[in-house]
A and B are shown apart, each in its own frame.
Chain A
Amino acid sequence: MNIESYFMEATYLVASILFILSLKGMSHPETARRGMFMAEAGMFAAIVGTLVGQHIVTWVWIISGLALGSIIGGWMAVTVPMTAMPQRTALSHAFGALAAALVGVGEFLVHASEMGVVTRGALGLEVMLGALTTTGSLIAAGKLQGVIGGKPIQFRGQNAVNLLIGVGMLGSFVFFWIHPEAVAVFYIMLGLAFVFGVMLVIPIGSADMPVVMSLLNSYAGLAAAATGFVLGNNVLIIAGTLDGFSGFILSVLMCKAMNRSITNVLFGGFGAVIAEASGDSDGVMREISLDDAAMQLAFASRVVFVPGYGLATAQAQHAVRELAELLEGRGVTVKYAIHPVAGRMPGHMNVLLAEANVPYAALYEMEQINPEFVSTDVAVVIGANDVVNPDARDNPKSLIAGMPILEVDRARSVIVLKRGQGRGFSGLENPLFFKACTTMLYGDARSSLSHLAKAVQQV
């Protein structure tokens, strides 16, 4: 080994350590940014180390790739709005997985003849995972952006077709593993993996996106880790595994927050079946006027805002913060209750509210806030539905039975901001809306909130 190679390996070791430290920094908002600087330094070191230590003969592709990627990446980093964060993240899963898959194909082109059994197995996994994550993430991004309809796309015999494609893909993988000379089979596997990625995500509805995003995150990471096995490169294995496990942990958390299994999310096609509603919707929804709602809020001592995805679609983050500040000015204690699957990706709602200058200390997780609803004067539900549906807790026959909810129905009074009288995304009836303590304020969330703020000022 020459001195350049030692230098390269040293930068890889430094990068690995810095990556781990950076994720450790993520355990608190105060230290998270410093952690990211460490990760950036580690990445920079690893890139420099690679360029020094590897036998680079042509620079033109490298430089143009780095330049083009930096321009696109930089442009995305500056311009993407926080509401579009799920799409952006899905796209970046696609890019990461695509890079892994292409490196795999390249390795196959250049070194296929000299590969051992283990390397070939890792290569197959890398290409397969990379390819299916690429197309799967693109579909997810399309659904989140609204290019493709958010409703699940399903047809008769879908699971059978998917099974066939999956088996075909795995079969070609095994065949290629045993018979390396079968070049065609490698490309068949690649093609089937691309198709499988599409088929895997099209039957999944928008509301399940937090789980899908986390799963794709996990696959993209594992593809990078498999690349590490192919190239015999430890920093790739470490970074890929960290990414893979982070995605895996998030998928488990998201599934728990919806009380569903991963298989159910992937193959259940939630939202396609409209189950019989709980039926006891004998009550009526009572409407409340703006002035009455403002009065309630102004004279409350504890108010909890419960934002759902409807808040994001109405772009009402700033309006809710303005109202909250007015109330705080009157001495009202204001908190925000965040359900784990509020929004379209894990933690999405927190980011949206932070962007609107809501201090993170006012954002409460489900477990923290649930015991406090009993002593809450007014709970304001903004564009949330299933996550506050008491049926999940009380009605074992409900489609969402057992899903942990924000128990707003225990508050003294509840004001629900809602676009109209229709049902939410899942099509389920929500008994919360018919309770005696609940009143409805219809209309666009943003204009309702800013009108409320005006009315509160005049109280």
Chain B
Amino acid sequence: MNPAVLIASVYVFALAAFLGYQVISRVPPLLHTPLMSATNAISGISLIGSLVLAGGGHSPLFAHLLGFVAVTAATINVVGGFGITDRMLKMFAKRLPAKNAAVNE
């Protein structure tokens, strides 16, 4: 990694950290469980590194095998994570039932 790329990467890291702090501190405690499961699914982006390891050229077979396990693990996270987050958020999206709304006037 040459110095220019390193510096750019450190910038990306620092800005992402700052932005992450700003965005995530606005998430209400109500949604903390879906938040954790969503960020987990998003960090399943390490899948793209796993894909290269599993299918890239010039690697020993063992590296392909490691890549296969990594792809599997990351895919479980992506598919399972997004699926379950959506299941939770669907429950929260339900509005007040009409009769309750009437009583609460």
Contact = CB atoms under 8 A, between A and B. Distances in A.
Interface of A: 15, 19-20, 22-24, 26-30, 32-33, 36, 39-40, 43, 46-47, 50-51, 54-59, 61-62, 64-66, 68-70, 72-74, 76-78, 80, 82, 85, 88-89, 92-93, 95-96, 98-100, 102-103, 105-107, 109-110, 116, 118-119, 213-214, 217, 220-221, 223-225, 227-229, 231-247, 249-250, 253, 325, 328-329, 331, 333, 338, 340, 345-348, 350-351, 354-355, 357, 359-361, 363, 365
Contacts, number: 376
A77 B26 contact: no
B51 A51 contact: yes
Contact of A359 (B28, B51, B64, B100): B100
Contact of B70 (A30, A51, A98): A98
Interface residues of B, dominant DSSP:
helix
Contact of B76 (A82, A92, A106, A220): A92
B5 to A, nearest CB: 6
A303 to B, nearest CB: 13
Nearest to B34: A32
B37 A89 contact: yes
B24 A103 contact: no
B30 A360 contact: yes
B36 A89 contact: yes
Given A43-B44, A232-B1, A241-B20, A26 B35 contact: yes
Contacts of A64: 68
Given A32-B31, A57-B56, A217 B93 contact: no
| 7 smallest beta-carbon distances between A and B, as pairs | A69-B75, A77-B83, A65-B71, A347-B32, A73-B79, A73-B80, A346-B32
Nearest to A35: B38
Contact of A100 (B46, B87, B94): B46
Interface string B45-74: 111111111111111101111111111111
A225 B67 contact: no
A30 B98 CA distance: 17
Contacts of B17: 241, 244-245
A112 to B, nearest CB: 11
Interface residues of B, number: 89
Q: Give the residue among A360, A361, A363 with the most B Cβ atoms within 10 A.
A: A360
B67 A102 contact: yes
Nearest to A26: B27
A271 B55 CA distance: 49
A239 B57 CA distance: 26
A53 B81 CA distance: 26
A225 B46 CA distance: 9
B76 A236 contact: no
Contact of B29 (A39, A85, A223, A346): A346
